[in-house]
């Protein structure tokens, strides 16, 4: 049976891009592969971003990310779900991988180029991020990795690191493959400025646990097809981010009605947004209700994370023992 691994950063409130792009995939794969589905909140990765690693908020955001994943349907009794820093073998294997990975390959990573260009002083951890990501995956000998489209380059580097280790020390790691949710590769930000992302701030995102009134205020002023200057102007729904959201939240009848209404000016943009909000409310309300129940029982969440860490270490420890022996470390 395939072994699945993926991680999610606790660098802000999970948004609908995370949900449709990754979290729902976690649930689907968890139902299919059970405990062979391994997921973690990657708090070690989070601290490579100085702007997102406030120590006063990191633990809270880590806890809330676990709550969000459980609220969308991930069952910690059926999958392995834990916090990255609770399994120290991640750091140990990451260090070994840094000795196999040329600096030039790390510097070619697009995410490193983009993020380092925004910093006056670039932390070494940002450069080494892909080596830690490779360790996250290969520590469990995972062969299936559900990720966003923007992680493709990192998965390719992970495969290369696996090949280098196997060549140097003997066959050990599989070469993992990425699994994408092709229906939700690029969800636009609600401000209309590119892909939705935490790094762009709350004005760009729609949080899955965000109050519905707040979501409506964002949708109400969100840009639409620029051709619809007046209510009577026909538009092209394929040029409107609100229509992209309809494809996520609305049923087929609503999508078809909105499509026709936009092209013929049969409905206005505010009517289109109200119909979208109906779908958003129906979709997110049960998730938000489950999240409130989980927050009211923090011991359940913490116990689930502790159990997940024990399960992860039960897999990681013998693999690290194998790695230490092959690398040549003295064992006692």
Phi–psi pair at 305, nearest 5 degrees = -70, -40
Tokens of 185: 């590769």
Q: Catalytic residue, from 164, 195, 239, 326: name it.
A: 195
322 in a labelled binding site: no
326 in a labelled binding site: no
199 in a labelled binding site: yes
36 in a labelled binding site: no
> In the annotation, is 274 catalytic?
no
10 in a labelled binding site: yes
Distances (CA, A) of 308 to 37, 76, 229: 11, 7, 53
> In the annotation, is 247 catalytic?
no
150 in a labelled binding site: yes
Question: Bridge-partner residues for 7, per DSSP?
Answer: 40
Tokens of 315: 């897999």
DSSP 8-state code for residue 20 = I
17 in a labelled binding site: yes
166 in a labelled binding site: no
Instruction: Report the alpha-carbon distance of residue 244 to residue 225 in Å, rounded.
Output: 12
Neighbour order of strands in the sheet with 177-179? 80-83, 37-41, 4-8, 144-146, 177-179
Question: Bridge-partner residues for 8, per DSSP?
Answer: 41
18 in a labelled binding site: yes
253 in a labelled binding site: no
Contact between residue 273 and residue 242 where contact means Cβ atoms under 8 Å apart: yes
Q: Which residues contact 96 (CB under 8 A, 6 or more apart)?
A: 135, 165, 323, 327
113 in a labelled binding site: no
197 in a labelled binding site: yes
Helices 58-71/269-295 angle, 10° precision: 110
Distance of alpha carbon 216 from the chain centroid: 24
Instruction: Report the alpha-carbon distance of residue 67 to residue 166 in Å, rounded.
Output: 38
> In the annotation, is 198 catalytic?
yes
238 in a labelled binding site: no
Binding site for L-tryptophan, residues? 136
Binding site for ATP, residues? 9-11, 17-18, 148-150, 187, 195-199
Q: Active-site residues: which are they?
A: 115, 195, 198
């Amino acid at each position: 049976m395939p072994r699945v691994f993926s991680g999610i950063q606790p660098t802000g409130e999970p948004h609908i891009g995370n949900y449709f792009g990754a979290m729902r995939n976690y649930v689907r794969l968890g139902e299919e592969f059970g405990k062979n589905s391994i997921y973690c909140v990657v708090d070690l990765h989070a601290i490579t971003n100085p702007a997102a690693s406030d120590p006063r908020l990191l633990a809270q955001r880590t806890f809330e990310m676990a709550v969000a994943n459980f609220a969308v349907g991930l069952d910690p009794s059926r999958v392995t779900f834990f916090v990255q820093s609770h399994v120290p073998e991640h750091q140990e294997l990451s260090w070994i991988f840094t000795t196999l990975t040329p600096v030039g390959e790390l510097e070619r990573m697009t995410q490193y180029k983009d993020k380092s260009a925004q910093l006056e002083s670039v932390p070494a951890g940002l450069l080494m991020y892909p080596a830690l990501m490779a360790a996250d995956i290969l520590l469990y000998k995972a062969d299936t990795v559900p990720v966003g489209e923007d992680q493709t380059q990192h998965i390719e580097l992970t495969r290369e690191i696996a090949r280098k280790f196997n060549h140097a020390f003997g066959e050990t790691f599989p070469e993992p493959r990425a699994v994408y949710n092709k229906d939700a590769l690029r969800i636009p930000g609600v401000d209309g400025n590119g892909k939705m992302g935490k790094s762009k701030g709350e004005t760009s995102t729609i949080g899955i646990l965000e109050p519905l009134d707040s979501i409506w205020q964002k949708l109400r002023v969100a840009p639409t097809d620029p051709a619809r200057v007046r209510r009577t102007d026909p538009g092209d729904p394929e040029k409107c981010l609100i229509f992209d959201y309809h494809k996520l939240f609305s049923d087929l009848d609503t999508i078809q009605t909105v499509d026709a209404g936009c092209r013929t000016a049969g409905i206005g943009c505010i009517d289109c947004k109200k119909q979208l909000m109906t779908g958003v409310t129906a979709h997110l309300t049960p998730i938000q209700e489950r999240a409130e129940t989980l927050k009211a029982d923090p011991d359940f969440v913490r116990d689930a994370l502790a159990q997940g860490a024990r399960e992860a270490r039960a897999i990681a420890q013998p693999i690290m023992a194998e790695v230490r022996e092959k690398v040549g470390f003295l064992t006692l």
